Structure 1
Amino acid sequence: MRILIVEDELALQQQLADSLRDQGYVVDTASDGEEGLYFAKEYPIDMAIVDLGLPKMDGVELIRRARQDGISYPILILTARNRWQEKVEGLEAGGDDYLTKPFHPEELLARIKVQLRRSVGLADNSLVCGPVKIDTSSKQVFLNDEAITITAYEYRLLSYLMMHTGKVLSKRELVDHIYEEDDDRDSNTIEVFIRRLRTKLDPSGELKPIETQRGRGYRFRIPRTSSDAA
């Protein structure tokens, strides 16, 4: 999943980015409202964290414009403790939740997980498609309740495919969601990761969980278990 951080306090911005990357998220950062709005509109973001006290364009205006442009992914507001009016304005502009500075990193991570779960219709930390299960909290993958070992990139790819089960996802979209902007973004590596995942998830060749749509991309074909959908 790809998260945008819009925060002008560079030390905090870096701290948040490092913390989220340690959790396996792809992270983009912006230091003012205008840059943040550009990222929010032009990049394939899954969630944004927006400080309200931004230069060039404040966070409330950024959120308002993003919603006006049809952006629907979750937006978490960061605000100073003594500015309760800003919280109200930010929520009314289209923010989904807020966190007051200073805060504990664990609380931020918990709120991010809640918003991301809601955005894809998960009731808890389990993402289940037939015999394949992901615990999004521990980032463990199970096949028929047996844990399997996958790499960080394989996890990012598999979780994104399963969160959008039934939808054809292009190589470009998959690359954008598993790589940082400055990484070596060779789309041919997607084929390698898909091949590895097929081997690990379908050693007998009977399940066929990932389908190739020639010229279009890939689709996770096993529907999500109904009890895990919100």
Structure 2
Amino acid sequence: MKYHVLVVEDERSISDYVKKELTFEDYQVTAAFDGEEALELFEKAQPAIDVVLLDWMIPKLDGLTVLRRMKKIQPNTPIIFLTARDYIGDKVAGLDAGADDYITKPFEIEELLARLRLIFRKWSTVRTTVYAVEHLKVDTSAHTAWVSGESVNLTQREFALLTYFLEHQGVAISRADILDDVWGMDFDGQENTVDAYVRYLRSKIDLDDEPSLIETVRGVGYRLRSDTFGS
């Protein structure tokens, strides 16, 4: 299996060096040079990102903000800070915000490779969670979904939203709560963003001439139909 790594680093020389070394080790590598680009690539990447190497001091959105938003999009994706900020308070803040590891610059590539191997060893032992909903099957650890046995491509955000519905099966959830829990409380978009993504999901997971798996609850928001659950 070739793991997909997103390197978020605004210093081109460091980014190019890390990309070259990881590619040599048979990783698939995508590079981003600012926080906004990183979030866009993270959400739209196909195949999905398996691990993120994240600098703290990057343009547009700082690394801590990017970390928090990525964890809202896909909480199970490992994120490693790779930064010159070596103050213990920064390390604590990064780890408390959800970072899976913290490496300070300058670093040796052998250490980075060892940390990646450790991350993937831990990841491979995580219990797989599989949901079956009528014609839909979702494996959250493998980040895959099937409709009537056929694989369906979902963006990171779509997958995070679908997983959120699966984790709250049968519960009516307001648009505001969905925005807070899936997009993050610092997201400054409108509630109709939820409506748009529900439409995207329905177009990918529903069958023609069949009721939608995601119900609209008038005056509230949405819920995944509780009568659909198999295992």
- TM-score tier by shorter-chain length is 0.5 to 0.7
After superposition, the Cα gap between the structure-2 partners of 1:172 and 1:3, relative to the gap in structure 1 and judged at 3 Å, is farther
After superposition, the Cα gap between the structure-2 partners of 1:67 and 1:172, relative to the gap in structure 1 and judged at 3 Å, is same
Aligned-partner residue type, residue 37 of structure 1: L
Q: Identify the match of residue 27 of structure 1 among 11, 26, 29.
A: 29
**What SS does the corresponding residue of 2:58 show, helix, strand or coil?**
coil
Kept in 2: contact 1:52–1:90 (CA 8 A) = no
Size of the alignment, in residue pairs? 132
Q: Does 1:50 align with 2:72?
A: no
The alpha-carbon deviation at position 87 of structure 1 amounts to 1.6
Kept in 1: contact 2:71–2:77 (CA 8 A) = no
Aligned-partner residue type, residue 29 of structure 2: V
The two structures have a TM-score, normalised by structure 2, of: 0.52
Q: Does 1:65 align with 2:81?
A: no
Kept in 1: contact 2:56–2:85 (CA 8 A) = no
Aligned-partner residue type, residue 27 of structure 1: V
What is the aligned-residue RMSD (CA, Å)?
A: 2.5
- Give 2:14's aligned residue: 12
CA distance in 1, matches of 2:87, 2:54: 15
Aligned-partner residue type, residue 50 of structure 2: D
Aligned-partner residue type, residue 75 of structure 1: I
After superposition, the Cα gap between the structure-2 partners of 1:21 and 1:83, relative to the gap in structure 1 and judged at 3 Å, is same
Q: Does 1:90 align with 2:94?
A: yes
State the identity %. Answer: 37
After superposition, the Cα gap between the structure-2 partners of 1:113 and 1:56, relative to the gap in structure 1 and judged at 3 Å, is same
Kept in 2: contact 1:37–1:66 (CA 8 A) = yes
CA distance in 2, matches of 1:82, 1:24: 29
The alpha-carbon deviation at position 15 of structure 1 amounts to 0.2
Kept in 2: contact 1:79–1:99 (CA 8 A) = yes
Kept in 2: contact 1:41–1:71 (CA 8 A) = no
The alpha-carbon deviation at position 116 of structure 1 amounts to 1.4
Q: Does 1:77 align with 2:81?
A: yes
The two structures have a TM-score, normalised by structure 1, of: 0.52
- Give 1:2's aligned residue: 4
The alpha-carbon deviation at position 3 of structure 1 amounts to 0.4
The alpha-carbon deviation at position 18 of structure 1 amounts to 0.2
The alpha-carbon deviation at position 68 of structure 1 amounts to 1.7
After superposition, the Cα gap between the structure-2 partners of 1:61 and 1:171, relative to the gap in structure 1 and judged at 3 Å, is same
Kept in 2: contact 1:49–1:77 (CA 8 A) = yes
- Give 2:106's aligned residue: 102
Kept in 2: contact 1:4–1:45 (CA 8 A) = yes
The alpha-carbon deviation at position 81 of structure 1 amounts to 4.9
The alpha-carbon deviation at position 83 of structure 1 amounts to 3.1
Structure 2: runs of 5+ lacking an equivalent? 127-140, 154-231
Structure 1: runs of 5+ lacking an equivalent? 123-162, 174-230
